[in-house]
Structure 1
């Protein structure tokens, strides 16, 4: 069985040590990904190696709507054997050992090192450059050691996580939006209702934009990354230009300004207003109706001001937007060549 969509990137195509045990609906594998024997990829699982390599060991198991990605210019992702990832989790530009259980809604960030024989409990965030020592259960944001754990419990929790995954919800049919040539919409993304995409914008793999109630308006050169979900229940969602919405983000009816970055795994509650020039940290959440003032890094649950946006953070946000404009052009061409 093969993924629903495989694409080369910069001349590199995915390599599998053997045919995967299972590849779910909408499963997507991109670029320089090397995947070991007996892999299992859930519905709308995304493995994206566009710029650096992703190396996954034997018996890798990726739950529904989870994402494995890299830091394009800086760092790949390297995962050992017998690693189980739950639903709606992100493994990003990091190193993960063998015999590791990563439960649902976990985010592992750039430069983190996760040792062997570890359980990371549901909802945890592993901060950039963190070092998780082998043989412990970790939880919280940031993830901290809670107690020792042995191989038998790790194996039991891996099996339980796999058994609990079950089937994902039915995937409704997608609509083909009318877009200009500069816009990229991934073949495995789903758009429904009144969705307007600005010039140069990108909607990446397995995203779900549901505008059947209120509209979704996305500004020019804005990118919405893999497995993010935008769902309207009222007035709709407006996102300004030159903004990045990271992997596995959840956005309800809200207003998001220009030149923002909504970090991996963040959740934007209904009625939130995010001003221009805001960085919302990975794993952060907002309260309904919350106002995020511009010019700051916000983080936490609920979000609070952590620091002013300095020149380094602003430059990073700009580089991400520029790189995704390039990705969009390259992916449009790659998808067209599949037709």
Structure 2
């Protein structure tokens, strides 16, 4: 069995030590990724290695709608043996040891190091450059050490995650919409309803955009990254131009301004208004109707102002937008060539 979608990056295809045990619908592996024997990839799981390498050891288990990615120009992702990742989790530009369990909705951010024999509890956020000593359970946002754990408990929690996985198909295979040449919509993305994508917009792998009531409007050169889900049940969603929506974000019926960044795994409640020039840290949430004023870094659950959006952060956000415009052009060419 092979992933639903395999694409090269910079001419390099992923490497599998042996044929995966299971690859769910919409599972995607891209670029310079190397997976050990007995890999298991759930529905809509994404491993995207487009700039740095990703390595995963033997018996790597990746749950439905989970994402493994790198920091394009700076940090790889390395994962040890017997690592189990639950559903809707993100492992991003970090190092993870062996015999680790990462439960549902957990997030590991750039530069973090996770030791052997670690349990990361559901919904936890591992902040950038954190070090998690082996042999302990961690939870919270930011994640804190909770208690010691044994390898027996690690194995039990891993088995529990695997048994809870629901890999049943949820609908027909996605059919990419007709879009102009500057727009990229991944073949594994699912779009339905009234959706407008501005010139240069990028909708990446296993995203779901469902305009069930109001429309979804995405501005020019805005990128929506892997496994993000956007739904409308009221007035709709409008996202300004030159904005980044990170991996595994959840939102409905909200407004997001131009030149903003919504961090990995964030959840935006209905009625949220994000002004222009806002950076929302990974793993954050908002309250219904909350206003995030422009010119600030926001973060937390619920989000609060953490500091000013200084020139360095603004430049970083603009650089991400430029990079994803380039990625979109590259992936459209690869997808078109695949047919």
| The two structures share one fold, judged by TM-score above 0.5 | yes
Match of 1:181 in 2: 181
Does the 8 Å contact 1:175/1:192 carry over to 2?
no
Match of 1:300 in 2: 300
Match of 2:332 in 1: 332
Q: How does 1:123-162 map to 2 (within 5 A)?
A: 123-162=123-162
Match of 1:18 in 2: 18
Instruction: State the Cα distance separating 1:174 from its structure 2 match.
Output: 3.3
Match of 1:251 in 2: 251
**C-alpha root-mean-square deviation of aligned residues, in Å?**
0.8
Instruction: State the Cα distance separating 1:179 from its structure 2 match.
Output: 1.4
Does the 8 Å contact 2:5/2:27 carry over to 1?
yes
Alignment: residue pair count: 339
Shifted more, 172-181 versus 203-212: the winner is: 172-181
Match of 2:270 in 1: 270
Match of 1:77 in 2: 77
Q: Distance in 1 between matches of 2:82 and 2:212?
A: 41
| 1:247-295 deviation digits (Å, cap 9, x = unpaired) | 0000110110000000000011100111000001100000000011000
Q: How does 1:1-339 map to 2 (within 5 A)?
A: 1-168=1-168, 170-339=170-339
Instruction: State the Cα distance separating 1:173 from its structure 2 match.
Output: 4.7
Does the 8 Å contact 2:103/2:120 carry over to 1?
yes
Q: Distance in 2 between matches of 1:23 and 1:175?
A: 20
Does the 8 Å contact 2:24/2:42 carry over to 1?
yes
Instruction: State the Cα distance separating 1:169 from its structure 2 match.
Output: 5.7
Q: Distance in 1 between matches of 2:49 and 2:202?
A: 17
Q: Distance in 2 between matches of 1:86 and 1:248?
A: 13
Q: Please report the TM-score for the alignment, with normalisation by the length of structure 2.
A: 0.99
Instruction: State the Cα distance separating 1:167 from its structure 2 match.
Output: 2.5
| 1:160-210 deviation digits (Å, cap 9, x = unpaired) | 111111335613453543311000000000000001000000000000000
Secondary structure of the 1:206 match is: coil
Q: Structure 2: where are the runs of 5+ without partners?
A: none
Q: Distance in 2 between matches of 1:172 and 1:218?
A: 24
Q: Distance in 2 between matches of 1:172 and 1:195?
A: 19
Q: Distance in 2 between matches of 1:169 and 1:280?
A: 33
Q: Distance in 2 between matches of 1:216 and 1:205?
A: 18
Q: Distance in 1 between matches of 2:244 and 2:140?
A: 25
